[in-house]
Amino acid sequence: MKKLLFLQSEVKNPFALYEIMLKEGAIHWDKENKTWVSYSYDACTTILNSADVLIPQIDEKNVHQLNEFALHIKNGLVRLSNGMQHEITREITMYLFDGMKKISIDLTLQSILSTTAKNNKVDWVDTICKQLPALVILQSFDFGDEECDLILGEIELLKMIMLPHKNKEQVARINSSAERIFKIIENHILEVQSGLVSRLVMKYKLEYNDAVFLCISNLIGLLIQSYDGCRGILSNAILRILKSKEFSEQKCIHQEWVEKMVIETLRFDPPFHHTKRIVGKDMVVNNITIKKGASIVVMLAAANRDKKKFNNPNNFSIKRHNTNESLTFGMGSHMCLAKHFSIHLATETIYHFLKMYKTITLLENDVQYEPVMHARLPKQITLSF
């Protein structure tokens, strides 16, 4: 029996497994994990576009005993909400994006490298991917250097809020971190972003404190998302670029080319391989009836390699006409709102890095991946320049 869900650290080429499953059917029942797993582009889009397919709730009864600050963060996140709450939090997140001021990514990149790169070497993952995206977000909301340092040091802990299962030690650390960061961001919003809060109160008839809490939770949500999502895009794209013929021959190294490489990487080697949903009422997917309450894993990375949608899907090509139709950022009402921000940030960061250093060499012969199921995230990428 094939193992449908696995740790990315244990599999050399997950796409070969996805290809096998695609040939055998659009959707499969995973007996071991008691969930459906969809592989084809059509099946995945049917599920993602359905208003009756919901985001699974994490610990609704708070069995883990998160404190009030961690609960405010968790309960206000757009990516964990459904129905009307989702519509409101989604628009609030869009307000947050609209309120971001433009940041010079090249200067931020230079600043990070000047203090962390040693002996003309850098760990791209730890130095750039885990810091720059969140730092750009914080700077765009006018957080000071000290605040940025404090928040950046806590994102790894805050990310644990998203874990479906947490031990007592993790909960204690989450609660402590959530209180510290919640208060820092709350003070900042009340002092610097009060205009944004007032607009939300007016538009949605919210209580002032509720609007503040939603701003806090979704700003933290952007930081959490940037930590893994942007990290994965930056990591996978730089690997693809450094191995490309154009880079080795120093041809076509301009911003438009980098952007095309980033977008095709998102299809070909996305950071997130699958996402989970719960069926709100009986539905039919590829002639299979899935009952209300059933769990479905939507295998986005498999859909991105579906030959019925993408011609020669296992070939990496920036000339592909429909690359933008990949499902990496999802589809429907729960499509990731950070799509354009993530593509822009990855393009700008990599382009400026390539401009700064003309000879860049990948020192990793065999890239290792984090031991998680849903995301394929390189643990380390050592570069010399």
- CB count, 10 Å around CB of 314? 11
> Read out DSSP for 53-75?
EEPPPS-TT-TT---HHHHHHHH
- The Cα 109–Cα 93 span in angstroms is 25
Q: Do 196 and 215 meet the contact criterion of CB atoms below 8 Å apart?
A: yes
Confidence (pLDDT) at 205: 82
Helices then strands, each counted (H, E), the chain? 16, 10
Grade residue 196 by pLDDT with cuts at 50, 70 and 90: confident
Confidence (pLDDT) at 76: 73
What pLDDT digit, counting tens, does each position of 124-175 carry? 999 999 999 999 999 999 999 999 999 999 999 888 888 888 999 999 999 9
Tokens representing residue 275 in the block:
């996402």
Q: What is the pLDDT of the chain when averaged over all its residues?
A: 90
Grade residue 30 by pLDDT with cuts at 50, 70 and 90: very high
- The Cα 144–Cα 89 span in angstroms is 26
What pLDDT digit, counting tens, does each position of 117-126 carry? 788 899 999 9
Q: What is the mean pLDDT of residues 244-265?
A: 89
Task: Return the bridge partners of 288, or none.
Answer: 285
Q: Do 327 and 48 meet the contact criterion of CB atoms below 8 Å apart?
A: yes
Domains of the chain and any CATH numbers = 8-218+272-306 (1.10.630.10)
**Torsion sign, CA atoms 245, 248, 249, 254:** positive
What does pTM read for this prediction? 0.91
Amino acid at 32: E
Q: Do 97 and 138 meet the contact criterion of CB atoms below 8 Å apart?
A: no
**Strands 275-279 and 53-54, bridge-based pairing:** antiparallel
Grade residue 100 by pLDDT with cuts at 50, 70 and 90: confident
- Length, in residues, of the chain: 385
- CB count, 10 Å around CB of 15? 18
* CA dist 97 → 90, 94, 176, 190, 224 (Å): 11, 5, 28, 18, 15
